Amino acid sequence: MILRDLEDRDVPEVAALDRLINRKSWSEAQFFEELRLGSLCRIAMEPAGAIIGYLLARPLTDEWHLLTLGVAPTHRGAGVASALTGELIRHAVATHARIVLLEVRASNQAARKLYLKLGFIPIGRRKNYYSGPQGTEDAIVMSSPIR
């Protein structure tokens, strides 16, 4: 697996992967906006060159906020999300951040287990944070203090 920064030329492929993965997918414009803002935008690629995962996170004072993370269904269970999230933690350490924060759907057991395994701690719940045709869903807020 190769990890590298997202570049403008990758945006159509990443946005297509996000549409495959997420109920509330991002537009290409949203990915371009994060690149313009200088957010942390990392992708995982297989050796043949296809993008198999992505992570975007934005700094806010001394915090990093995980905005989105996804792994291609064909490449799950192989440590791709762990590698991408590990990069965010290392980046938070390198930029002297105090904390990394994220929200995750209460029903998303795979992601909640991933974050717990990586040392994130549940610190709260945002009621009805997600909304869609199937109704609303709470978000669990998780944090990883950076020492």
> Catalytic residues, which ones?
103, 115
Q: Which two tokens stand for residue 108?
A: 């998303």
Instruction: Confirm or reject binding of residue 142 to ligand COA (CB under 6 A).
Output: no
Instruction: Confirm or reject binding of residue 57 to ligand COA (CB under 6 A).
Output: no
Give the three-class secondary structure for 47.
coil
List 27, 82, 128, 136, residue binding ligand COA (CB under 6 A): 82
What would you report as the CA-atom Rg of the chain, rounded to the nearest whole angstrom? 15
Query: H or E stretch including 92?
Result: helix 80-94
Instruction: Confirm or reject binding of residue 58 to ligand COA (CB under 6 A).
Output: no
Question: Which residue's structure tokens are 């942390």?
Answer: 40
Instruction: Confirm or reject binding of residue 79 to ligand COA (CB under 6 A).
Output: yes
Binding site for ligand COA (CB under 6 A): 21, 69-71, 76-82, 104, 108-111, 113-114, 117
